[in-house]
Structure 1
Amino acid sequence: MTNERSTNFDRRAFLAAGAAFAGAPALAQTELGTTEVERDINEAVVRNISSFRSLDWRPYFDNLNNGAVLVDITSRALHYWSSDESVYKLYPTSVPLTEDLTKKGRTRVVRKVEGPSWRPTPSMKKRNPEWPDHVGPGPDNPLGTHALYLSWTYYRIHGTHDTRKIGRRSSNGCIGLYNEHISELFALTNVGTQVLLI
């Protein structure tokens, strides 16, 4: 019974801290060195979506072996091309809060998990010691319903139950999609699918 109470308390503390964090304005440095202020996540935000457009894969990849995923941090969009070019998908995403949390470059999908568990990274735990060490699959899980694990430690492309995060700088480094979009991308990708973050 004590362990159950402890788990419930930790979960409540985690959710309360997450809600407080989500409610606070987020600051992020743009490429020009100016500060972008993300307003309260509960406010409606009108966005210019002119940069949210379809792209050709050729400037970014030598081939489409195993399919390809391009994540454009600036436009907050994820592009997917199948290996035979019969499928092209474009999804809105959440992106990291700041440049120092953002990793760019080439990687690949190394693992696919439906109903992922979440553990905070050591740096997250240091900043937020009240967060639980583990959150299992379900509606409280920050990774949503599906996760694509990348070859970079701690980096994922995953879903989110908090749909207000999509289209915003709101993550600690991962790329987030609506759960219905990550479910679709999960079915399209393979272990070995190439990924490029720009």
Structure 2
Amino acid sequence: MKTPNNPVSRRTFLTTSVAVGTAALAAPAIAQQIDPYTGQPLMGTAGGATPDAGMVQYDSNANSRHNISSFRAQDWRPYFSDLKNGAILVDLTSRALHYWSEDQSVYKLFPTSVPVSPDLTRTGRTEIIKKVVGPSWAPTPEMKKRNPEWPDFVGPGPDNPLGTHALWLSWQYYRIHGTHDTRKIGRKSSNGCIGLYNEHIKQMYDLTTVGTQVLLI
């Protein structure tokens, strides 16, 4: 059985997303000063990235083949009564985000990162309340309590854990956002938010509106 750490398994996962019409573009990981997803301090390596993200950022009990088989196109009707303002479904099991436009002319399926543990996971219905290009980041009070060494604020740029774009949800502190560390995608690697490749969050930023429906299951 291959773990998500296995590079072949990862390539297969990304190839699967392409097969359903999604271009899974992987940019090189960029150095970050902090790692708010794992709760682990970054170790000193060339380039400054976490040496082995897979050590702390995947569920060792999950079968990568199960993840691949469940990463497939979905119909919106079992999840939404209508597509007013468009709709986003985030499937935490398959670690996938589905988007349908209001007129049903656009459907997108993207791989995501998901929360690392059940206590950080929230499910249910919410909506987009704000859209930001070049977001800044600040740790939540609970994050700061667990990691007092973290900075109080990180401005836009390559060190920002929210990537290039972010969609604010109506739940406090919850976002759908990009990431500069592409190794996080497809893994349990966040403190509660849903992460996308920067190329994909830009598409979602352009497609969605304030009021777009969001359901996490």
Evaluate the alpha carbon distance shift between residue 163 and residue 73 of structure 1 in structure 2; reply closer, same or farther with a 3 A threshold.
Answer: same
Spell out the pairing of 1:39-58 with structure 2 (5 A cutoff).
48=66, 49-58=68-77
1:176 counterpart residue number: 195
Q: Distance in 2 between matches of 1:18 and 1:52?
A: 31
Q: Which residue does 2:177 correspond to in 1?
A: 158
Which residue matches 2:144? 125
* Aligned residue in 1 for 2:42: 19
> Structure 1: which 5+ runs fail to align?
1-10, 29-35, 39-44
In structure 2, distance between residues paired with 1:117 and 1:99: 26
- SS, match of residue 100 in structure 1: helix
Query: Displacement of 1:37 after TM fit?
Result: 2.2
Q: TM-score, normalised by structure 2?
A: 0.75
Q: 1:59 to 1:90 in 2, by over 3 A?
A: same
Deviation (angstroms), 1:47: 5.0
Alpha-carbon deviation of 1:26?
A: 3.0
Question: In the TM superposition, what whole-angstrom CA distance separates every residue of 1:51-78 from its partner, at most 9, and x where no partner exists?
Answer: 0000000000000000000000000000
- Once the two structures are TM-superposed, the CA of residue 19 in structure 1 deviates from its matched residue by 2.2
Report the structure number with the largest CA radius of gyration. 1
Question: Aligned partner of 1:186: which letter?
Answer: Y
Whether the 8 Å CA contact 2:89–2:99 is kept in 1: the answer is yes
Using the alignment, how far apart are the partners of 1:97 and 1:85 within structure 2? 32
Identity fraction in percent = 69
CA contact (8 A) 1:27 1:37 kept: no
2:101, 2:107 within 8 Å by CA — same for their partners in 1?
A: yes
What is aligned with 1:85? 104
**Greater strand content:** 1
Cα distance in 2 for partners of 1:112, 1:50 equals: 32
**8 A contact 1:26–1:97 mirrored in 2:** no
Q: 1:140 aligns with which of 155, 159, 169?
A: 159
Aligned length: 175
Structure 2 residue aligned with 1:115 = 134
Q: Contact 2:57–2:189 at 8 Å: present in 1 too? A: no
Shift of 1:46: 6.0
Aligned to 1:187: 206
